[in-house]
Structure 1
Amino acid sequence: MKNILLLFLFLFTFSNLSFAQKDYYFPGETFTDDIPSPYSYLGYHVGEWHTRYDRMVGYLEKLAESSDMAELKTVGYTNQLRPLVVLVISNANNISNLENIRNNHLKLVDPKVDMPDVSTMPAIINLAYSVHGNEPSGGEAAILSAYWLLASQSDKAKGIRDNAVVMIDPAINPDGRDRHTNWANMHRGFPPVADPLDREHNEIWPSGRVNHYWFDLNRDWLPLAQVETQSKIAWYHSWYPNVVGDFHEMGTNSTYFFEPTKPFGSENPVVPRKNYDEINNKFAGYFSKALDEIGSLYWTKETFDNSYPGYGSTYPDIQGGLGLVFEQGSSRGHIQSSQRGDITFQFTIRNQLKISMATMEAGVKERIYMHQYLREFFKTGMDEAAKNSVKSYVFGDEYDESKNRLFLKLLLDHKIKVYDNDRDISVKGKQFKKGKSWVVPTSQPQYRMVRTMFEKVTEFADSVFYDASSWTMALAYNVPFESQSGFSAGKELSSLETQELAFPEIGNYVAYMVDWSDYFAPKFLHAIQNAGVHVESNALPFTSLTDQGEKEFPAGSLIIPTAFQKMNQADLRNIIQAAAKESGQHVFASTTGFSKAGIDLGSNNISAIQVPKVLMLVGQGTSQYEAGEIWHLMDTKVGMPISKVDLSAFGRLNLFDYKTLIMTSGNYSSLSSGQLTHLKDWLSRGGTIIALRSASQWLQSQGVIQEEYLSINEETTSASKLYASRRDESGAQAIGGSIYNAYLDNTHPLGYGYRMTEIPVYRNTSIFFKPSKSPYQTPVRYTENPLLGGYISPSNLEKVKQSASVLVSPVGRGKVINFIDNPNFRGTWFGTNKLFFNAIFYGDKI
């Protein structure tokens, strides 16, 4: 009886608290009973609990079933198979006429099409929430925004329904959101605990911020590494919204941020000034009014970033829309103490709701203006292209067909027009062959995206960056490219054409061979090794007479002798052919081991490739981003499983069960002295460690490796400086993310598969190691004039010039491969991925 009474008191207390929430969220509003409220579906009022994603989708489905003014669309699925949904809301006539509205709206994007009558066209507004899963107030505001727009009887709601098509993404990152939702709900106290140190406010590793593969999806709109963003971009280009709201959270002690962002320094160089000087300020008036009405504090024109084009709030700016970042001080749970008192989940949700409503109101009131701007954006892009001395870019890697296809897919996904190169040409000393290169004209609607992909920018209005200061995707893919003052090409590509793969006819062969130069050669190698095929590789190049004529095989090529196999010739052939088809590899075969040039197939410079068994330490203290990049890389580009073992379980590990240990950036001080001894013993007996960035620093601090840090004496001054300038002064010394040219030793096992001797690398660290004392163990070091794109201070640039990007530290019979620069950054750097693949497959050959 006592328990029943306590339960009754609990429910009574919360029902009374929640009953007032209608006035809290929607004071003075009248709602129709025909539309189910969130409470009627969820069984609790929004903000009492964190809402699971399936329940959010279920409620939106219920809204679509209950009203002819709503339609729920599934645009894709996450890695964990949660649906990615968009709830479309407008008046019934618009909903029944969506395809015609969409097609008419798309006319604005093409300057060659006559301008439609925008006076009667509805605004296209996209409200997108919870791209970071542990920023949950946005997703809850999505529920309330959808309910208000459909059920409110106010003139404002009706005006939006009549004059806009509103598209609500309740959560761009459902997998991460549910991770955080479950965490917050399972640690909720009764009453809730506001102490910031309480477990509810401090997630374990990995956090809900990231998706299944531990990626930050808000950095993925440009590289499109993840399925969620791939689906989002495909949907985006089917509509080109006028306004996109991107709802986030920030530190608990902050208030609310809306645009404009920091002038000039945080703005993208290809976006028209009108976006920043006029449109942002126009919309800011709506947002300030909305928060002033409820007495919520806010700030503008500071920090945050409008320059990197891979955010959900910046990509729309390069597509003729207005992308808007919103940041709400987070409760990171149900209630948390802050410098201004306790912040409740309901308070954060209300602010997001009010800004959502203001965004819709502004989008409608400024709809004609924004339609005209959309057309103006693409027209002025074409006008700028006509004045630009660069008329096209030609690109293509003669030896890496798969990487070409990956880059082509990226361009096509961003709706960039690409044409076949129909002739052999030489541009600035670089050769581009017909059939193996392509041309991108600058004169096209996506002119500004073309610049984003190919331009190298090194001059900036500011020296402090929130994130990356360079993002040239052609450099990230390490695809040879050059600009041209003219445009000449063959047919336009509408999609990727089917590959035609060479494969030997049935014959009496001594060996099959595959060139390691192709990006997906590691995928082929893993597949056949996993099927039990014995594979060898060459340390020196050779030229063989193959079934397709003479063919040069550089160091690191795959050689599959038909002898020494555990299966018969027919099975061997079937395994190789299936793997080649799956990985897109050209296979060659020879009836003789005698080479036309270079070493023969029985040379001592050819040795077996050991089947790698890889372990990666993960968990609290390690970088969830770097670990996720590696996990995703090996899963999706190689199809190879690696063991992810929590750092806390190191004591149960027998390292001798593994050949390779990956250590991402992080703090490994939790390892005991006995565990460190085990690590050193395994390493000295022939193990291989792949260490990224600060992991190398930790190994250095523990005496595992004996490298030297680089420091350059700088002049010191006792002159006083303004206290207010301290953040900009220190920020200017950070390397937030920029691109550099480096020398590559392609005769080194880590350089196998590369045909060039210089390579672009991405650096976002201030760790500087000197090149190895051994003249042979710095396979990647910077050139004398390394800066290709982005900002770096003069003092840091001097350090870069004299430092190593990749170096190998011998330890007994083992070695540590130190990646001072991350070769897998954000799933973007296809050009340096092969360095990492080589560390896994060829590390024991160093």
Structure 2
Amino acid sequence: SAWTMPYAFNLPFAELEGRDYNDDLLGNKVEGLPEFPTGEVLGGESDYAYVFEWDEYYAPRAVNRLLDAGVRVKVASKPFTGVTADGTHKFDYGTILVPLGPQSVDRDKIHALVQRAADSDGLTVYSVGTGLTPSGIDLGSGSFEDLEKPSIALLSGEGASSYEVGEVWHLLDQRFDMPPTLFPMDRVERADLDRYNVMVMVNGNYDELSERATEKIKRWTQEGGTLITTKYANNWAEQNDLANIEYVNGEEESEEEKQVTPKSYADMSKARGAQYIGGTIFNTKLDLTHPLGYGYNDEDLTVFRNSTLFLEKAENPYATPLYYTDNPLASGYVSDENLEKLSGTAAIVVSDVGSGRVISMTDNPNFRAFWFGTNKLFMNAIFFGQTIDGGSGN
């Protein structure tokens, strides 16, 4: 399994060859645990709105806290330049807007909540005094979309990977204070799914879901739910007509290649092992304008993969917001055959299902709770899946 720290944390870096190294490049020695960074509310208390960017890791925690308090929160689907108390500032896709009217929560409480976002979540919050902007969308534009508070059902129990269920639970409960409801599969057909707007199915075999439970999930999705499936959970979604995805089968063999050459039985285990992807890092391209790309500043993103599930890009050109590059290997081992299969394929495909959507991820974005670099993809699916335009799904 490959291990490259800056890839795992999505950090910009450059390789330094030995002859270019000198001690002057070293910073101060780190002593003890570093302090959590604190942000600030620039401009103090506002009488119009607050805005903050989505690129900070704990921005989802701040937004969830606001929504949980009943505050109306919006997300920008287009960039703009805002006039803030700290001067003009360029805001990108995914910027969060907290308007002060109309709201059911009083302004003092909203200010206290955005101050907490700065203090506890490390966010820089901008106080804004006008909805008019020098360029881009105005703050009253319909390109700001209302967000719903995520209510998350996480399928668990026999068939679902306990490791990956635990990784999702840890991410949501321990890091973002958003505890999901864990659903054993045999409880789905008796559960009230209308209480939830997001469902997560991690890697696993979901054949144990009853026909009634399957129909219930399909109806829930069609009525507006966001279903997130990772790795082999995609098989279940595809087989039950929820995900419009196609698998990569590889190139048709020539007649010469079809000729079987006898091999030593002793080599069989080694040959099979060579086709296994035990943990390899690959290069992908991310659409930064897509809701699943909000908060990222670079279209080049490295992902961790430990499966041989390969998906074709969607026929709809807007339905594959993340895909593998033509030369995807960044670090680790992969066979030539699997590298060829993977090149240029989809890493995420979005499917329209009635009023809802299914977000199919070929990989685990929350691997072992240390692959921080792709956590935002998962959180974007949770918060912004509801905002993905219906015409952009496969």
For the aligned pair, the TM-score class normalised by the smaller chain equals: over 0.9
Report the secondary structure of 1:594's partner residue.
coil
Any residues of structure 2 matched to 1:228-247 within 5 Å, and which?
none
2:85 aligns to what?
547
Whether the aligned pair in 1 keeps the contact of 2:46 and 2:127 (CA below 8 Å) is: no
**Post-superposition shift, 1:712?**
1.2
1:645 aligns to what?
183
1:843 aligns to what?
385
Whether the aligned pair in 1 keeps the contact of 2:38 and 2:123 (CA below 8 Å) is: no
Report the secondary structure of 1:822's partner residue.
coil
Deviations 1:100-135 (A, max 9, x none): xxxxxxxxxxxxxxxxxxxxxxxxxxxxxxxxxxxx
Could you say if the C-alpha distance between residues 599 and 650 of structure 1 is closer, same or farther in structure 2, counting changes exceeding 3 Å? same
Could you say if the C-alpha distance between residues 646 and 588 of structure 1 is closer, same or farther in structure 2, counting changes exceeding 3 Å? same
What is the one-letter code of the residue matched to 1:843? G
Higher gyration radius (CA): 1
1:530 aligns to what?
68
For 1:580, which of 118, 135, 151 is the aligned residue? 118
Deviations 1:139-166 (A, max 9, x none): xxxxxxxxxxxxxxxxxxxxxxxxxxxx
Deviations 1:16-42 (A, max 9, x none): xxxxxxxxxxxxxxxxxxxxxxxxxxx
Report the secondary structure of 2:51's partner residue.
strand
2:391 aligns to what?
none
Report the secondary structure of 2:124's partner residue.
coil
1:549 & 1:831 partners in 2: Cα distance?
31
Could you say if the C-alpha distance between residues 508 and 635 of structure 1 is closer, same or farther in structure 2, counting changes exceeding 3 Å? closer
What TM-score do you get using the length of structure 2 for normalisation? 0.93
1:817 aligns to what?
359
Report the secondary structure of 2:98's partner residue.
strand
Please tell me whether residue 787 in structure 1 is matched to residue 324 in structure 2: no
**Post-superposition shift, 1:593?**
0.6
**Post-superposition shift, 1:654?**
2.2
1:475 aligns to what?
7
Could you say if the C-alpha distance between residues 688 and 499 of structure 1 is closer, same or farther in structure 2, counting changes exceeding 3 Å? closer
Identity %: 39
For 2:347, which of 802, 805, 810 is the aligned residue? 805
What is the one-letter code of the residue matched to 2:307? T
2:219 aligns to what?
681
**Post-superposition shift, 1:762?**
0.7
2:141 & 2:183 partners in 1: Cα distance?
39
Number of residue pairs aligned between Structure 1 and Structure 2: 378
Any residues of structure 2 matched to 1:373-772 within 5 Å, and which?
468=1, 470-484=2-16, 485-487=20-22, 488-495=25-32, 496-497=34-35, 499-713=37-251, 714=253, 715-772=257-314
Deviations 1:700-741 (A, max 9, x none): 122222321111134333110000110000010111110000
1:824 & 1:476 partners in 2: Cα distance?
10
Whether the aligned pair in 1 keeps the contact of 2:284 and 2:322 (CA below 8 Å) is: yes
2:176 & 2:301 partners in 1: Cα distance?
22
Unaligned runs of 5+ in 1: 1-467
Report the secondary structure of 1:587's partner residue.
strand
Could you say if the C-alpha distance between residues 567 and 683 of structure 1 is closer, same or farther in structure 2, counting changes exceeding 3 Å? closer
**Post-superposition shift, 1:514?**
0.8
What is the one-letter code of the residue matched to 1:486? Y
1:653 & 1:698 partners in 2: Cα distance?
20
2:224 & 2:35 partners in 1: Cα distance?
45
Whether the aligned pair in 2 keeps the contact of 1:693 and 1:767 (CA below 8 Å) is: yes
1:674 & 1:498 partners in 2: Cα distance?
47
Whether the aligned pair in 1 keeps the contact of 2:80 and 2:137 (CA below 8 Å) is: yes
Which structure would you say has the larger RCO, counting Cα contacts within 8 Å and 6 or more residues apart? 2
Report the secondary structure of 2:140's partner residue.
coil
**Post-superposition shift, 1:497?**
4.6
Unaligned runs of 5+ in 2: 389-394
Deviations 1:261-284 (A, max 9, x none): xxxxxxxxxxxxxxxxxxxxxxxx
For 1:776, which of 313, 318, 321 is the aligned residue? 318
2:375 aligns to what?
833
Any residues of structure 2 matched to 1:252-267 within 5 Å, and which?
none
**Post-superposition shift, 1:494?**
2.3
Whether the aligned pair in 1 keeps the contact of 2:60 and 2:176 (CA below 8 Å) is: yes
Could you say if the C-alpha distance between residues 795 and 524 of structure 1 is closer, same or farther in structure 2, counting changes exceeding 3 Å? same
Report the secondary structure of 1:843's partner residue.
helix
**Post-superposition shift, 1:512?**
0.4
What is the one-letter code of the residue matched to 2:71? V
Any residues of structure 2 matched to 1:348-359 within 5 Å, and which?
none
1:830 & 1:507 partners in 2: Cα distance?
33
Report the secondary structure of 1:503's partner residue.
strand
2:194 & 2:35 partners in 1: Cα distance?
46
Give the aligned CA root-mean-square deviation in angstroms. 1.4
Report the secondary structure of 2:67's partner residue.
helix
**Structure number having the greater helix percentage:** 1
2:37 & 2:192 partners in 1: Cα distance?
44
**Post-superposition shift, 1:581?**
1.1
Whether the aligned pair in 2 keeps the contact of 1:744 and 1:779 (CA below 8 Å) is: yes
Deviations 1:391-411 (A, max 9, x none): xxxxxxxxxxxxxxxxxxxxx
2:5 & 2:199 partners in 1: Cα distance?
30
2:114 & 2:243 partners in 1: Cα distance?
40
**Post-superposition shift, 1:507?**
4.3
Any residues of structure 2 matched to 1:147-296 within 5 Å, and which?
none
2:46 & 2:207 partners in 1: Cα distance?
57
Could you say if the C-alpha distance between residues 490 and 621 of structure 1 is closer, same or farther in structure 2, counting changes exceeding 3 Å? closer
Report the secondary structure of 2:373's partner residue.
helix
Report the secondary structure of 2:258's partner residue.
coil
Deviations 1:525-563 (A, max 9, x none): 111212221111100011112122221111111100011
Deviations 1:477-511 (A, max 9, x none): 01001123234255333242563522134444311
Report the secondary structure of 1:696's partner residue.
helix
**Post-superposition shift, 1:678?**
1.6
